Chains A and B, each alone.
Chain A
Amino acid sequence: MSDGARYEAVIGIECHVELKTSSKMFCGCRNEFGGEPNRQLCPVCLALPGALPVPNRLAIEHVVRAGLAFGAQIPVASKFDRKNYFYPDMPKNYQISQYDLPLTTGGVVRYRRADGSEGSCRLTRIHLEEDTGKSTHLGSGDGRIAGSTHSLVDFNRAGVPLMECVGEPDIRTPEDAVAFLEFLRLTFLYLGISDVKMEEGSLRCDANVSIRPAGTSAFGTKTEIKNMNSFRSVARALEYEIARQRRVLAEGGRIVQETRGWDESEGVTHSMRSKEQAHDYRYFPDPDLVPLTLDGAWIEGLRGSVGFTPIAAYDRLQRGGGLSVAQVRQIVEDPALTRFLLETLERKPGDDAFAQATANWLLSDVARILGREGISIDGQELLTPANLGELVELASGGTVTSKTAKELLERMMAGGGSPKEIVAREGLAQLSDPSAIASVVDEVIAANDKSVADYKAGKENAIKALVGQVMKVSKGKANPQLAESLLRERLAQS
């Protein structure tokens, strides 16, 4: 047995999520990513003397809904506290946060791994706080503070509502850490409470990692990993850190409790500060903000607005077995698409073939047209779960040919309407009556001497050309299989 196999990793994830609101957490300034530096500012978020915070109700609702989506408890009383430390991009030199009475406690994040298997991780809490500004360090060449000659601060982000989710140390592998984060991200996307874009910093995460002999229950000494800027870097950083800790123990050393930064380009973690250098944040209740009392009826109203979660969608789409794991993952990634599919499937509950066919339509032809038009499924109203469901039924049941079905989809997405009505109005139903097709077949044989001769000379491909002609003459309505068998029959006779 190798050294590695004797240890298991214990991982706890904390993530910060910028909430999607029109204004900042404690003032009326716009909450918008980017923009010219230092333009989204007022006396409150710039911490001018005398300015006071007023909480953003929507941000509080977002956090409570996030908790409810994971089955968390919502307390009757909550409050804001001040976390005191100096940093140039934090205007008040304290952050308004929540210490001992967070907006939500407990809850479980259920997630699915890439292979479709299920895992879960308990949540400790979710609380609400405000984001800081952004510093840019100049003169050091590499953007780092070390060696820089001066720094610029952009306070546009200062005061943006920030939700912190703290996970229990239930995770054992980097793969599970990523799956956990993916389902957190998707849940917030489904709730519409954040853009959750790691590249814009609206989702940021840190991980606490320790290792211990497999089968034991005591925790080892942990390190906290920061600066992971993508899910891929989370996986890489955790793999590196677990291996590093194993190596340290294998060499007879001991793990030092510290914060370590992930260096994406070098693929290593390096020490940032030790526990001894940790801040004393001197938390105390913010006297500028009155304690929050959370009304039961208000909470129930929010519970009703949670709606579909990605894990529930995943469960439902996988339950029937009609869709592949890859298809389910691809669909669940897109909340609007998932909602559309689930609503479509309500036409035929439990029909796996229908589910698979609908998923295929959405992921291929519908996706292609949406992509071509540059719109999203919820950015249009012409294609609806009702008319798509009809179309899938028409195509699967053989009422129209696949060619006609594709044309119908184009027409529906350009002008709306029921495909059944279009078919009835314009006589587009597939020709499956041999006598009706027979006359077309005869016409085609008479008009295509060369192909007929080729076929008779043993060129099997010539039959395809003849079928194509039948489809053309029938305006795509002929059942192609029936057309081919009739052609073969007639040609054998002649």
Chain B
Amino acid sequence: MIRRSATEIAAAVNARQAAAVEVLEAQLARVEQMEPQIGAYLAKTEELARACARRVDERIAAGASLPLAGVPLAVKDNMCLAGTVTTAGSKILQGWVAPYTATAVQRLLDAGCVPVGKANLDEFAMGSSCENSALGTTRNPWDPERVPGGSSGGSAAAVAAREAALATASDTGGSIREPAAFCGVVGMKPTYGRVSRYGLIAFASSLDQIGPIARTVEDAARMYDVMAGHDPMDSTSLPRPAEPTAGGLRRDLHGLRIGLVREFATKDLGEEIDAVYQSAYRQLAALGAEIVDVALPHAEYGLATYYLIAPAEASSNLARFDGVRYGPRGNGTNVQEMYARTRAAGFGPEVKRRILIGTYALSSGYYDAYYVRAQKARTLMAGDFEKAFGACDLIACPAASSPAFPFGAKGDDPVAMYLMDFYTIPMSLAGLPALSVPCGFASDGTAGARELPLGLQLVAPLYQEARLFGAAHAYEQATRFTLDRAPAGLEGVR
């Protein structure tokens, strides 16, 4: 059962061909088997999962039909799930039990999902490899010597390793799309405001967005449909209704103009990777899309812009972790000492770096030069996309700058790590919906390197999630890169 897609599991449970409790037990056994190799979860939530599964079976028995009946779910550990330890991968929240559930997670539970565990992530979702987690190491199912990507590394690895059918993830600058690409799964970031952020532990409020990670585009679309929609608890959630997407999946791309970004030429990514992307673009054309050339002249300022806005917001968002109301507290003879010791011990180096950058960028005398200018650059970038979407319906480009890299490869060079998100940050700044769908395999050219999955990023105009999923499905069904190939050693359970 756990080899099946979420769509198939839900169909079987709704048809009473399988009980949610049976699916769950098989899933828990799989988790037990895989966790020593993968480490996708920071915590397993068996007890809650069993209660949820029983409840699903009761509802089905009572005649209900649930869109995600009995589907095992991994919840990224920066999302609150009542009664579970929720840490955001940080020592500063170690042992903190959430007393409430995030809106997006609640909608998934209401739709029949069964929460198997809390997935690992870079601390406070700051990172691109999961190496910044203070609480655990997650390995890439395609090569355990390599990172799963980040920040939603636990979510992507759990889905790739069949430790869950679906996973919640969050994307601030690429944190859904990059790990999805690294782990050969589908990851989608909705339009900013589509999915409620209530209960998502904030990193950068104006960029954070929850989205699905799944093994198929259809699964991701179904999961998105459940999570999307206005939430009165989140002022920034869009008041407009979210159009269902799962019904609009396509088999071809006729009538769609797909833009290739002039500034995103893949030649520099290496011959092997370049070939994968060129082949992907040809496949889009073969499916009937008209390929056009578009420009994003300000995209090159994406990283610089992002690394002012995101840390600025983070420096303020993370101020609440002070040891006063929850979380471990450092002792001191006065309150300043208590703050300093709590935060010095609680935050990891990358989080501290970003708090410092953000505090500096917002400081009196620097605010106009940094924060205000970054906001202007952000507006220019959104304008670039608007212009580009005048000439095309979707944009196609890489989801990450390389395949999954070995642990420690980026060493202590934060900028090398930041560059992983070069292709995903501009869309985040513009608030656009974008996804990564597997588009082939390549080695990174190092001796003896295994073949690793690559992700094709598709980007749609604001609110056009249906178009995005529709096209991605056509591409996925035509190519089947990871539908017919599981990570080495996992073939038996594909």
Contact = CB atoms under 8 A, between A and B. Distances in A.
Given A52-B198, A287-B206, A288-B235, A47 B102 contact: no
A92 interface: yes
A4 B148 CA distance: 76
Given A50-B78, A50-B79, 20 more contacts: A43-B99, A46-B325, A47-B320, A47-B325, A48-B100, A49-B86, A49-B93, A49-B96, A50-B198, A51-B199, A53-B235, A55-B235, A88-B322, A91-B325, A93-B320, A93-B322, A282-B363, A282-B367, A288-B202, A288-B235
Contacts of B86: 49
Contacts of A283: 362, 367
Contacts of A91: 320, 324-325
Contact of B205 (A48, A88, A287): A287
B319 A84 contact: yes
B232 interface: yes
Contacts of B326: 48
Nearest to B237: A52
Size bracket of the B interface: 35 or more
B205 A288 contact: yes
Contacts of A287: 204-206, 236, 313
A94 interface: yes
B440 to A, nearest CB: 37
A93 B319 contact: yes
A82 interface: yes
Interface string B89-106: 000010010111010000
Contacts of B137: none
A336 to B, nearest CB: 36
Interface in A85-119: 86, 88, 91-94
A486 B367 CA distance: 92
B80 interface: yes
B15 interface: no
B362 A282 contact: yes
B198 to A, nearest CB: 5
A288 B100 contact: no
A284 interface: yes
A290 B235 contact: yes
Contacts of B234: 52, 54
Interface in A35-88: 43, 46-55, 82, 84, 86, 88
Nearest to B201: A49
Contact of B322 (A55, A86, A290): A86
B319 A94 contact: yes
B80 A50 contact: yes
A280 B363 contact: yes
A46 B321 CA distance: 12
A55 B236 CA distance: 11
9 contacts: A48-B80, A48-B325, A52-B197, A52-B198, A88-B324, A93-B320, A284-B316, A287-B204, A289-B236
A315 B289 CA distance: 77
A453 interface: no
Given A54-B233, A82-B316, A94-B319, A282 B359 contact: yes
Contacts of B206: 287
Contact of A54 (B79, B235, B325, B362): B235
Contacts of A84: 315-316, 319, 362
Contacts, number: 99
A52 B235 CA distance: 8
B205 A50 contact: no
A50 B235 contact: no
Size bracket of the A interface: 20 to 34
A447 interface: no
Contacts of A290: 235-236
Q: Sort A-B residue pairs by CB-CB distance and give the 10 closest, nearest first.
A: A93-B319, A287-B205, A287-B206, A282-B362, A49-B201, A50-B199, A47-B320, A280-B364, A50-B201, A50-B80
B236 A288 contact: yes
Q: Which residue of B79, B93, B324, B359 has the most chain A CB atoms within 10 A of its CB atom?
A: B324
Contacts of A289: 235-236
B202 A50 contact: yes
A92 to B, nearest CB: 5
A146 to B, nearest CB: 10
Interface string B297-319: 00000000000000011011001
B478 interface: no
B368 to A, nearest CB: 11
B107 to A, nearest CB: 15
Contacts of B236: 52, 287-290
Contacts of B316: 82, 84, 94, 282, 284
Interface in B208-235: 232-235
Contacts of A93: 319-320, 322
B41 interface: no
A320 to B, nearest CB: 51
A86 B201 CA distance: 19
Contacts of B233: 52, 54
A482 B229 CA distance: 85
Contacts of B325: 46-48, 91, 155
A49 B88 CA distance: 9
A127 B367 CA distance: 22
A370 B236 CA distance: 51
B454 interface: no
A290 B235 CA distance: 7
A152 B27 CA distance: 47
Contacts of A288: 202, 205, 235-236
Contacts of A363: none
A92 B205 contact: no
A51 B199 CA distance: 6
A153 interface: yes
A88 B325 CA distance: 9
Q: Which residue of B99, B201, B319 has the most chain A CB atoms within 10 A of its CB atom?
A: B319
Q: Which residue of A43, A49, A55, A288 has the most chain B CB atoms within 10 A of its CB atom?
A: A49
A53 to B, nearest CB: 7
Given A94-B319, A282-B367, A284-B316, A49 B80 contact: yes
Interface in B97-152: 98-100, 102
B232 A50 contact: no
A98 to B, nearest CB: 15
B102 A92 contact: no
Interface in B51-86: 78-80, 86
Contacts of A155: 325
Contacts of A82: 316
B364 A88 contact: no
B239 to A, nearest CB: 10
B377 interface: no
Nearest to A148: B334
A244 to B, nearest CB: 30
A92 B199 CA distance: 15
